Structure 1
Amino acid sequence: MGVINTKNWFEHDKWREKINEDVQHHLFAHGMARRNQHDMMKQLEQKNVWAFVANKFAELKKEWNGPDVPIYIFPADATNRSLQHEFGGKSGVAFRDQLFLFLLPHVPNEHIYALLIHEYNHVCRLHVDPKDERDYTLLDRIVMEGLAENAVYERLGNKYVAKWTTYYTEEQLKQFTKKWIVPNISLRPDDARYRPLLYGSTFYPRMLGYAVGYGIVKRALEKNRIMELLTMESEQIFFM
């Protein structure tokens, strides 16, 4: 397990033979490159990204007593505006049993580490809360995002947390929570409001669910450690 050698997977589209079609859909939806894949992988190889991620993953796995899952490093979509503005040119997808990191060659190693912390924290959370992804409520998801980005803050500090953590004041987050999150905490991913509430839209503030989740977990960390929160129910953290 650990970091998989994907350096040559984009020669002749070999990666499609190794990843099932359902997962492929998720990868493109979450920021994987559709063009210039092979060139970007060569540039990432020159940075020795695979060795760096493998070393940091070993540290996190030991500290969090987390599961040993395969980690796939793939190229990120340089044309994705959301990826650039909200996520700093990097993104990822976490499943209970595998993890994908989407990277651009210019992203500094510490930002890659921040992404790994965030996504592997998701893996750990999914590992202790084995619901089907379709049953993850809006509350489950915002708490999970809050746990992951607070884990980044704990290890790396303010410099490396996502920009969306700074968008709103505590008072604004309280108002947003009361107005939009509380009435919708039980929504599931098949509801049309789920993604707009999570990421923002014309009707909801930018990165709404993520920002609220960060604030909720930050407040809970005044009384608990991140490792304790990882195993708690979302409702317990939310109403703490």
Structure 2
Amino acid sequence: MGVINTKHWFVDDMWRKKIKEDVQRHLFAHGMARHNQHDTMKQLAEKNVWAFVAKKFTELQKEWDGPDVPIFIFPADATNRSLQREFGGKSGVAFRDQLFLFLLPHVSNEHIYALLIHEYNHVCRLHADPKDERDYTLLDRIVMEGLAEHAVYERLGSEYVATWTTYYTEEQLKQWMKKWIIPNLSTRPDDARYRSLLYGSAFYPRMLGYAVGYAVVKQALEKKTMIELLSMKAEEIFFT
């Protein structure tokens, strides 16, 4: 499979005919641009982004012995403030059988690679722990996010990890983990607390679940390798 040639999919909104409506809604929620972005795609093509992603995907797939899935490159939503602030103007969404990257022309190749590492790590985790998305608990998700961002750190260093990895001290995270995260580990996506704890809200610190996940996986990596952790149960990783 590998990288799909989506360079011309935004001419006359061709992409809408190729992606199911329920999937479209999911993509919008994760940072994909909603309107015709032909110029953005043209600039990404001029940067030869498709060839770059294909090369890096081959390397990651070989290193992690991961699945061969189609990768779709689409434009990111430049008006999304959260996307700009928390994720540097890029985003993505991973399914067990496909991967989407949302990009803007100003994003450097190194940051594109960081995004690919993060999202493909999700794909590998989803293959190792297959279940319906509705059954992924808060525990599953924060561990998955921690694994993915540590994979970025291992390859590219601290300069390219997400800003939310530095928001809080270890002591703060320990306190909040005990107070908010551990009592809600079994929370599922259909519970309002799930998103609030994962991303933060008026009540919870910003990107709380992500930050806790990064701290948890950091501790687990003192005893295990990334390859080992990818196939371990979330409970084992969290309570290592």
TM-score by length of 1: 0.99
CA–CA distance in structure 2, aligned partners of residues 64 and 110 of structure 1: 19
- The answer for the alignment partner of 1:11 in structure 2 is 11
CA–CA distance in structure 2, aligned partners of residues 228 and 37 of structure 1: 40
**Within the alignment, does 1:179 sit opposite 2:179 as a pair?**
yes
Are the equivalent residues in 1 in contact too, given 2:93–2:99 (CA < 8 A)?
Answer: yes
Superposed CA deviations along residues 113-157 of structure 1, whole A, max 9, x for unmatched, are 000000000000001111100000000000000000000000100
- The answer for the alignment partner of 2:121 in structure 1 is 121
Are the equivalent residues in 1 in contact too, given 2:11–2:36 (CA < 8 A)?
Answer: no
Q: Describe the SS at the equivalent of 1:204.
A: coil
CA–CA distance in structure 2, aligned partners of residues 69 and 20 of structure 1: 17
TM-score by length of 2: 0.99
Q: Quick one: which amino acid aligns to residue 28 of structure 2?
A: F
- The answer for the alignment partner of 1:141 in structure 2 is 141
- The answer for the alignment partner of 1:223 in structure 2 is 223
Deviation, structure 1 residue 183 = 0.5
Q: Describe the SS at the equivalent of 2:192.
A: coil
- The answer for the alignment partner of 1:110 in structure 2 is 110
Q: Describe the SS at the equivalent of 1:68.
A: coil
Q: Quick one: which amino acid aligns to residue 138 of structure 1?
A: L
CA–CA distance in structure 1, aligned partners of residues 34 and 24 of structure 2: 11
Structure 2 residue runs of 5 or longer lacking an equivalent are: none
Q: Quick one: which amino acid aligns to residue 68 of structure 2?
A: D
**Within the alignment, does 1:45 sit opposite 2:35 as a pair?**
no
Structure 1 residue runs of 5 or longer lacking an equivalent are: none
Deviation, structure 1 residue 86 = 0.2
- The answer for the alignment partner of 1:67 in structure 2 is 67
Comparing 29-38 and 59-68, the one that deviates more: 29-38
- The answer for the alignment partner of 1:22 in structure 2 is 22
Are the equivalent residues in 1 in contact too, given 2:90–2:115 (CA < 8 A)?
Answer: yes
**Within the alignment, does 1:35 sit opposite 2:35 as a pair?**
yes
- The answer for the alignment partner of 2:192 in structure 1 is 192
- The answer for the alignment partner of 2:78 in structure 1 is 78
The alignment of Structure 1 onto Structure 2 pairs a total of residues equal to 240
Please identify runs of 4+ aligned residues in structure 1 that moved more than 2 A. Answer: none
CA–CA distance in structure 2, aligned partners of residues 87 and 81 of structure 1: 10
Identity %: 82
CA–CA distance in structure 2, aligned partners of residues 18 and 34 of structure 1: 15
Deviation, structure 1 residue 35 = 3.1
Q: Describe the SS at the equivalent of 1:130.
A: coil
Q: Quick one: which amino acid aligns to residue 35 of structure 1?
A: H
Deviation, structure 1 residue 26 = 0.6
Superposed CA deviations along residues 159-215 of structure 1, whole A, max 9, x for unmatched, are 000000000011111011001100100000000110010000000000000000000
CA–CA distance in structure 2, aligned partners of residues 54 and 227 of structure 1: 22
CA–CA distance in structure 2, aligned partners of residues 69 and 16 of structure 1: 20
Comparing 15-24 and 200-209, the one that deviates more: 15-24
CA–CA distance in structure 2, aligned partners of residues 29 and 117 of structure 1: 21
Q: Quick one: which amino acid aligns to residue 30 of structure 1?
A: H
